[in-house]
A = this chain, B = another copy of it.
Amino acid sequence: MDAIDRSLVELLRGNARLSYAELARQVGLSAPAVHERVGKLESGGVIRAYRAEVEPESIGLGVTALIGIVEDSDADTDDVLEAFRQMPEIESCYFMAGVESFLLKARVGTIAELEQLIVRLNRTPGVASTRTGIALSTKWENRPQPIEPVTS
């Protein structure tokens, strides 16, 4: 993970569809060298995936909610997690410090669907209570921040 690798990661975070040839020009290596480096970043787990970022409304997901979860004192956290994993509406899941063990980011089409999701969450074994906040608008999301040149 040297300076060139960091440049490659930064370039691909900005535009995942850059060709190897273009990446090579940007970092001053040959295309095969870049190909190999990127391959290692992928198999080494640094690059997890390449995703198109889509306007949620246009795929029928206009409602974004952030939901805090309080667990029962005797809950099995792994089971709760597994239940959440089965709910495709939950796009992100953080295990948090604090009273609320989890914070979920969920996306649904309508408020009615959100209601159903919350009911399902509250019914989930191990879940004591939920607290839902609705995002009225998303100002930005997953903005990549420039990589600080830390020598590691």
Contact = CB atoms under 8 A, between A and B. Distances in A.
Contact of A16 (B52, B93, B97): B52
| Copies of this chain in its oligomeric complex | 2
A85 B143 CA distance: 10
A58 interface: yes
Contacts of A61: 145
A92 interface: yes
A141 B60 CA distance: 19
Interface in A2-22: 6, 9, 12-17
Interface of A: 1, 6, 9, 12-17, 45-55, 58-61, 64, 66, 81, 84-85, 88-98, 100, 102-103, 107, 109, 133-148, 150, 152
